Chains A and B, each alone.
Chain A
Amino acid sequence: NAGVTQTPKFHILKIGQSMTLQCTQDMNHNYMYWYRQDPGMGLKLIYYSVGAGITDKGEVPNGYNVSRSTTEDFPLRLELAAPSQTSVYFCASRPTGGEKLFFGSGTQLSVL
């Protein structure tokens, strides 16, 4: 049981480039989340999904897009990367009716 898997673990992106952060979970959880964490800060919600085909914006969605074509996968797309998107990105999931979040190991992204 792998839980929540994120790839890549580290990445350096040039300003203006685009990339997709991958997140997959094997626990059949309906709810999935993308958070970003800047140094010394808490987690800010970017996007979330309550099930396949359903996504919604969180607190800081600008510059990002998501899709949820399957229960397992919830990729985060960065378009036209900016230095302000330098952060650690965490994907998380939880089952319907449960409140515990299961986190992936994170992706450290630098935009230079």
Chain B
Amino acid sequence: QKEVEQNSGPLSVPEGAIASLNCTYSDRGSQSFFWYRQYSGKSPELIMSIYSNGDKEDGRFTAQLNKASQYVSLLIRDSQPSDSATYLCAVNGGGSQGNLIFGKGTKLSVKP
């Protein structure tokens, strides 16, 4: 059974700090990795995707991938109260259908 593990939190950081969210996955053959943000009562929305080892930056967000350690992380710089949400890590389950396997999510709270 392919699994994606996340610390459920809650993770609390002060406004302006760096929030670090972590995720591990079980399938060494996974090739595609995603971070979705989900506000309370809303549907998930894609914020980052990463496919190769290293860092990928998009504005205040940086995704990091280490396939050898089967580890994906998301850094949020200059955290804002509007970043308070649950962050879901998702990994492509492989095969032609490319179904995503989601972690349970980490709840982030950014305190003003």
**Contact indicator A42/B99 (Cβ below 8 Å):** no
Query: By the criterion of a CB under 8 Å from any partner CB, how many residues of chain B are at the interface?
Result: 22
**Contact indicator A41/B49 (Cβ below 8 Å):** no
Query: Contact size class for A?
Result: 20 to 34
Minimum CB–CB distance from A31 to chain B (whole Å) comes to: 7
Residue numbers in A under 8 Å from B34 (CB-CB): 99
Interface residues of B in 24-73 (CB under 8 A from A): 32, 34, 42-46, 49
Overall SS of chain B's interface: loop
Q: How many contacting A-B pairs (Cβ < 8 A)?
A: 49
Contact with B along A46-87 (1 / 0, CB 8 A): 001010000010100000000000000000000000000000
**Contact indicator A48/B46 (Cβ below 8 Å):** no
B17 within 8 Å of A (CB atoms): no
Q: Chain B residues in contact with chain A, CB under 8 A?
A: 4, 6, 8, 32, 34, 42-46, 49, 88, 92, 96-100, 102-105
